[in-house]
Homo-oligomer: A and B are copies of this chain.
Amino acid sequence: MDTTIIVGYIAGTLTTISFVPQVIRTWKLKETKDFSLAMLLLFAAGMLLWTAYGIWINSFPIIAANIVTFGLVLFLLWMKIKYR
């Protein structure tokens, strides 16, 4: 595996796992006022399309990273609606 691919994998891992501390914090605080609903909706839609793109080009890393992020963002979106 060459360096370029490794950098891509690290980048994808960072952006995906970044949502874990956010979900934990939101779950604990039960507060979502500071979040923009439009941001969460647009981001979730983007993640879905990235997953579709990954399926299309048959790229497992793109599918995996985006489906996990989509799940985490969906959970944030649910909390945003629940704890408004």
Residues of chain A whose beta carbon lies under 8 Å from any beta carbon of chain B? 3-4, 7-8, 10-15, 17-19, 21-22, 24-26, 29, 31-36, 38-43, 45-47, 49-50, 52-53, 56-57
How far is B1's CA from A47's CA once the two chains are assembled, in angstroms?
21
Residues B10 and A49 in contact, CB atoms below 8 Å apart = yes
One complex includes copies of this chain to the number of 2
Check A56–B19 contact: CB distance below 8 A: no
Classify the secondary structure of A's interface with B.
helix
**Chain B residues within an 8 Å CB radius of A57:** 4
Report B-chain residues with C-beta under 8 Å of the C-beta of A39: 18-19, 21-22, 25
Pairwise interchain contact B21-A53, C-beta atoms closer than 8 A: no
Given contacts A33-B34, A34-B25, A34-B35, contact A49 B7 (CB under 8 A): yes
What is the chain B residue whose CB lies nearest that of A37?
B21
